[in-house]
Structure 1
Amino acid sequence: MAGQWLQWVRGVVTVHIRGGQPERLVNRALEGGLELSSIRWTSGGKLEFELSVGDFFRLRPFLKETGCRAHVVKREGMPFWLVRFEKRKFFAIGIGLFFVGIYLLSSLVWSIEVKGNVKLTEEQILTAAKKEGIFPMQWSFKLKDKDLLSKELVTDLPGTTWVGVEKKGTRIVIQVVESTEAEKAELQNPRHLVASNDAVITEIYTEKGRPVVKKNMKVKKGQTLISGTIGGGAYTQSVVAKGKVRGLVWYEFNVASPLTQEVKVYTGEKKTKWYAVIGSRALQVSGYGKNPFDTSENVVVEEQATWRGLKLPFGRLKKTIMEVRTDERELTEEEAKNNGMLQAKADVMLKAGNDAVILKEIVLHEKTDNGKVYMKVLFEVEQSIVEEMPLVQMQGE
């Protein structure tokens, strides 16, 4: 590695040898103390090797002796880099200023993100942060130590137990942990649990109260399942009935499903717009003009510039406007029937609750008329059938 570095400092040239006696040239040069490397024949039949800039000027006597001519095809190393730098010093200065600008921009706080707040508003937290010197366009090296900021923000924000401040590139993340208060138990009046639907009991679990039905019993809507009255006589007591009761419930639906379906199709025509993004602002740089399509969809892809793992506050955004049209697709009767069943099942789950299970589906009647499939469907569903009913106590009890 050290040898390669020294070679780069001295400068390296790659030459092609033409005419004369190339093999004798190599032997005489090596005997004369020149350091040749990467000696090889090219596909064009020319001898090629690499040597330092100093050895290149010492090669001339051997070229005359062997009748060869040398043509430089590649130059590498510090001497050539310095020459190019001299020729393009304004460009190099511009590159230097660009990287200085990048460093300065990456040293600014461009945005502040607040996480974890529930009771406190984001505005309250940002106001407290600004008081401690955290705000957009602030130099990051002017920020206080993270531990000190955390303590001061906890003091400034009543109701917090911890506030973390973390710098991620040009973004500051404020993580808030609020103090929690024990939830007060909700006061509940004595009640019965009654049936919300006509059903057949499949499961009953009583946590509090007196069960008055059993598994496999048929119950009517409004019938008491778990009573909030326990004991008897002088020892009668009213409680808040609690428990779980599930049962089989039947739903009948009339379904009408069309034999045509509207589908969205991309035509392949599109228009692309490019934007330069700086902070939260976007400046359009290409693709000007109105949307040429009657119906379209936008696909937006944003690319943020990065440097050494840091996200920089600028980048580019590509907006592709894609033309779409709506076509009508003819469905078979089976496809229309499946679509209708799916919609009916969604309606069943909406009525029965998220914990419901559809056990059976029976098509009672089916016909096709006027471009639609009509069905009468019976669903057998297992679901919770519990409904609360306040227990009204007589005055004097």
Structure 2
Amino acid sequence: MKHIDGSKVTGFVTISVKGTAPELFFQKCASEGIKVWNVRKIDEESCEGNIRLSDIRQMKQIRRKTIYKVSFLRKNGYPFAYRRFMKKKPLVFGLLAGFLLFLFLSNIIWEVKITGVPKDIEAKIDKQLNSYGVYPGAWLFAQAPPTELQQKLINDVPELLWAGVDQKGTTFYIEGVEKIVVQEPDPEIPGNLVASKKGVITHMYVTKGQPLVSINDYVEPGEMLVKGIVEQEGSEDSEDGEETAKQTIVAEAEIKANTWYEITVTVPLEYRDEQLTGNREKKYFLKAAGFQLPIWGFGEPPYKEIHRDSTEDKIQFLKWELPISVVETTISEKEFNSMERTKEEAVETGINQAVKQLQNELGTDAKILSEKVLHETMEHGKVKLNLYISVEENIVKHEPIDQGD
């Protein structure tokens, strides 16, 4: 007879029937509605076959009316496996406790690393992260996406120019770039205009004040360019004819100069290029009141380096927007490939890198005029360049007038 579908789920036993023509016992069981299968004759006076666990009682009632001897050979199916498993309660509780502990430990933050900023700003970032719920011991699935954390840090820590947040396993990596804050002088305070850097004047337009320099003049840092003290209109000479009434004003002018910078940059011939491999996995979370519950995609993918990208969609009911959203996080695998440059490519890369860095520091108003390699060396697989870069930029700096003079 064929195997009965679902018998492993409900359980079945293999019985041995001994007596004269034992196959007749299985025939009688079948005629009474008991399902039997895999009946095979062992010898002239013994047969084996399978019956369902639920039919054992009825089989025993039939046996009492016969002279056959029935014995149980094997117990099969999930009910018997479950009973054997439950008899080992310490093992069951140990496995359950181990699984829960592993699940707990793999879903909390173990470490938060902050790099790239001074200690005082690091302390502020750490304080803000604590207010966001990002600290050792916090739940991983309760955290906001890295892009959202980045924006929060930039908004809440004024000293940050840029922030990067990356999660690798149970560790959060925070990288920051400090913002250089320039204190602007009070425009209402009378003052002179002085040179902030050394250079040669190339452009000059004075709207208020007395100019003290001209185009093509060389100036040093701190040298006065426009004086904020002018003769008062309509004033008359004093009795001795030597003194004239003076008026202090806020000097205003646009003065550009040709400045220069010497920059040293080192470029390795071998470098690592970051690329996405195309392998990715998706995770889905239910988010409510800042708490994220994973609903699909558990555990971390076996990627050595990962890139995360998250999108959040609000759940709507009819025309109402519920305070629950579905967060889709795509975890992509990235890899770093070893690349090589020629010496000429390294020199070009170094020049571009230095020019870009200087342009970022000076701002978009500054104009790079030229760049020249003063000295070039190569050692230990790296090209070291000493560059001379000429720039046209605004060198005006406001300096308040000492009213006691």
* TM-score bucket (shorter structure): 0.3 to 0.5
Relative to the length of structure 1, the TM-score reads 0.46
